Amino acid sequence: MAARKGAKRAAPAPQLGRGEFVAWPGGPTAVYDLLERLAAVAGDSPDAGTHGISLDRTRLVVRWFGEPPAAVQAVLRDAGGVEVTVQQTAYRPGDLAVEADRLVAGHPDVVAAATPRPEGDGIEVLVPPAVAEAAGGAEQALAGVPSAVPLFAEVGEALPRT
């Protein structure tokens, strides 16, 4: 399909850091207010995971390693009408982020990209198609890559960083 003259291209998706989120326009804003308050008290905590928001923006899943600290619990008690569920993660999200970075840096020939899973149960790993094909699959390609956490292999290429 050809682009129309003068058509604008969509801006690339922003790169988000730990504790940051995208607020979608329209609908209830209470969940975003709650996320801002959570980020203020614990946004950079290595125990804080990736939170999940329902499509109607009325429910929030707060993923945490261990028991949330008192400041976080206080924010969650005053959730402003948002239904909140705290979901314990199997691994500390901060440790998963460090391990994902180690995998990419230490095994660039096998690992195209690695990111902690939102559920906090391991790391999603992208294996380049040629590497996966030569090894007989993405899981087989990762067989020689040591990790103390579960790796969830998929075939794919990493998007270039902007």
List of residues 6+ apart from 71 with CB closer than 8 A: 41, 42
**Positions of the chain with pLDDT under 70:** 1-28, 161-162
Residue 103 has which token pair?
């995998």
Domain ranges, residue 57 = 29-88
Boundary (domain end) residue, out of 69, 88, 107 = 88
- 37 lies in a domain? yes
- The DSSP line for 63-102 is EESSSPPHHHHHHHHT-TT-EEEEEE-SS-HHHHHHHHHH
Query: CB of 153 within 8 A of CB of 138?
Result: yes
Using CA atoms, how far apart are residues 93 and 89, in angstroms rounded to an integer? 8
Q: Can you give the pLDDT at residue 57?
A: 83
Give me the residue label for tokens 């290429």.
157
- 123 lies in a domain? yes
54 with 69, same domain?
yes
Tens of pLDDT, residue by residue over 7-36, are 344 344 445 454 445 555 665 688 889 999
Q: Can you give the pLDDT at residue 72?
A: 96
- 15 lies in a domain? no
